Amino acid sequence: MGQPDAVFNKANLQADYFINKKRGVKQMKIIVCKTYQEMSQAAADIVARQIKKKPDTVLGLATGSTPVGLYQNLIKMNRDGVIDFSGVVTFNLDEYVGLPKEHPCSYYRFMFDNLFDHINIKKENVHLPDGLAPSLEDECKVYEQKITQAGGIDLQVLGIGHNGHIGFNEPGTPFESVSHIVDLAPRTIQANSRFFSSPDEVPRKALSMGIKSIMHARMILFLASGKDKAEIVSRAFNGPVTTDVPASVLQLHPDVTAILDEDAASCLQKQLLLNI
């Protein structure tokens, strides 16, 4: 499966990165698209290519506003017969604690409404952590085991929170974390309250894949859109690698493709040009 056994502490990650650099393994690829629609199409093309190459691909999926356009394109490609999801297996990044699956704001509901109900994926191949499991600790352990049993994640789709979170790994989360119970940061509760009738209704806890779980994916497809993400994207890609900005860990992953719209890339452009 090619997953390193060593604990993913920062020193190890940097050592891996260094080795990868020396071996010439490809580094972060950043694609800047004019619009959200173009970004979503470019992302769908990458996912489609992956599924065609490996029909039993294991996809890691995200919720939130950012990947909705990607999912719409995937639905269309599936309807048009361009891609077949019958062999695809999925693992979502996260789920709220305390919401039943049928709750309109659960991530389970979100994924079925925005993708799974509209494609030919097998329901038994779809996985999200269960935020109502009797033991949340056990649920996290079992989730990790299921990912391993499936052969690991081939392609992980990621968005980014305004505070730099990936999945629900809030600032300060150790890089060696695997699936775990999370206390949501006030900024995340505030941002996600747009989906609920009031901020009081947003669950305070969630289950999330850890940073190590995410870093084990063979390929990362990172998406960001909008001016409000520009500053954090720049901190994540051009700033230091630090647990204060969880997404900065992606600088150490050997195969990241970041697709940004011009707004999200607007603080990055100059530094990028200098780097090329």
**Is residue 162 annotated as part of the catalytic site, yes or no?**
no
Q: Which of 16, 139, 154, 170 is catalytic?
A: 170
Q: Is 190 in the site for ligand F6R (CB under 6 A)?
A: no
Contacts of 88 (CB under 8 A, 6+ apart): 51, 55, 56, 57, 58, 59, 121, 125
What Cα–Cα distance (Å) separates residue 164 from each residue in 66, 169, 239? 14, 9, 12
Q: Is 177 in the site for ligand F6R (CB under 6 A)?
A: no
Measured in Å, how far apart are the chain's first and last C-alpha atoms?
A: 32
Q: Which of 196, 199, 173 is nearest to 186 (CA)?
A: 199
We find the least distance from the C-beta atom of residue 121 to ligand F6R, in angstroms, to be 18
Place of tokens 């989360």: 173
Q: Is 66 in the site for ligand F6R (CB under 6 A)?
A: yes
Nearest-angstrom CA–CA distance, 255 and 215: 10
Considering only residues 85 to 104 of the shown chain, the ones binding ligand F6R according to CB under 6 A are: 93-94
We find the least distance from the C-beta atom of residue 21 to ligand F6R, in angstroms, to be 27
Site string for ligand F6R, 208-227 (x = CB under 6 A): --------------------
Nearest-angstrom CA–CA distance, 214 and 34: 28
Pick one of 41, 50, 57, 63: the residue that binds ligand F6R (CB under 6 A): 63
We find the least distance from the C-beta atom of residue 63 to ligand F6R, in angstroms, to be 4
Pick one of 74, 77, 165, 264: the residue that binds ligand F6R (CB under 6 A): 165
Q: Is 65 in the site for ligand F6R (CB under 6 A)?
A: yes
Number of residues that bind ligand F6R (CB under 6 A): 13
**Is residue 163 annotated as part of the catalytic site, yes or no?**
yes
Q: Is 163 in the site for ligand F6R (CB under 6 A)?
A: no
Token pair recorded at residue 108: 């389970």
Which range binds ligand F6R by CB under 6 A, 129-137, 160-168, 236-244, 265-273? 160-168
Q: Is 161 in the site for ligand F6R (CB under 6 A)?
A: yes
Q: Is 166 in the site for ligand F6R (CB under 6 A)?
A: yes
**Is residue 165 annotated as part of the catalytic site, yes or no?**
yes
Q: Which of 73, 78, 94, 125 is catalytic?
A: 94
Which range binds ligand F6R by CB under 6 A, 5-13, 49-57, 63-71, 210-218? 63-71
Pick one of 60, 64, 129, 210: the residue that binds ligand F6R (CB under 6 A): 64
**Is residue 120 annotated as part of the catalytic site, yes or no?**
no
Q: Using CB under 6 A as the criterion, which residues of the chain lie in contact with ligand F6R when the complex forms? A: 62-66, 93-94, 159-161, 165-167
Catalytically active residues are 94, 163, 165, 170
